Structure 1
Amino acid sequence: MARPRELIDCGDFVLRRWREREDFAAAFALIEESLEHLRPWETWVEAHDEENTRAFLARTGIRWQDGEVYNYAVVLPDGTLAGMGQAYRAAHPRGARLGYWLHPAATGRGIATRAAAALAREMFALPDVEFVEIAHDSANTSSAAVPRRLGFTEIRRGRAAPPVPPAGSGTEVVWRLERAEWADRPESR
């Protein structure tokens, strides 16, 4: 089974596959320091604790091997974790979805956009992926900026699956980029 690379160099940061044992303390601290930044948009933060962080890291290895979800740490040159990114299979068998979030100190520097571009490139390198999607709540304008910058097309708006995040509108926006569109872009190389 083809899989994306475990280490993706993005210039001033890397995307690195999570390591279950070695990354626990840093992952837990990253989430702890980002809770208030994430709370409006991510319902999972309410259950954040050491046990859930350990369980997340344990699942990442299994899901990677199964080809379900590819979770990455966003790592700065000094080794500091700046966020998380993931790529996973969409409901359609030929599609993939991307997700991302950053520590508040890492926002506003283009990291999320470049990480999403790198994840899209990795997914389009897989032979069976024909499109990549990004979904977010319509009220989350920061998340909306990423697919817009990368040339994704908004394909639908609809009721978001529960639970709706605290600052959410309850409307999910889905953006899509087709393989053929991606091949014509400079960031695809």
Structure 2
Amino acid sequence: MKTSERPEFATQRRNELFDSLIEMFLMDGFSHLTLDDVAARLKCSKSTLYTLAGSKDALVKEVTKHFFRKATLAVETELAEASGSLNRITAYLNAVGRALSAASEQFMLDMSNFAPAREVYEMNTKFAAERVKTLIDEGVAAGDFRKVNAAFAADLTSATMVRIQLGEVRQRTGLGDAKAYQELAAILTAGISV
């Protein structure tokens, strides 16, 4: 059996291609790229790209999913290292900010204008809001937070996260994404602390 035919090699190669695609898309966006452009920049064939997805649209969606899977893993790893309710929410929101800070404005614009990628983004934002709600509920149960409507606080957080990612916060306040997440964490935790 040739090396390239071993399943672990194929999986590794797929992951490498997805990682390269993520890097390319985060830096430059994707709306202007054709599959020929992508293949040329990755120094691979279009048929190799077709092993990842059946079309450019499907490829963009798969790359977006791969990006958010990796970002979620990084965020959850950071969260697992934090202790205490305030520190956990702060760690979570700061980690989200760091995970998404690599995305260029063009990538965020392309993602918001392309429905399949936007759906992946919206699903992940919804997950993040639910995660914040769970962290608030845990803090209330531990007596670290005052009794607040966790669903409302999570919804408020989600709405702000969307505005950060769309660049609206940067445009209106001058805050970069990472700093905006730090401010969000500070305001949220101050608002719910006992």
Q: TM-score, normalised by structure 1?
A: 0.31
In terms of fraction of residues, the more helix-rich structure is 2
- Where relative contact order (Cα < 8 A, 6+ residues apart) is larger, the structure is 2
Q: Which structure has the greater CA radius of gyration?
A: 2
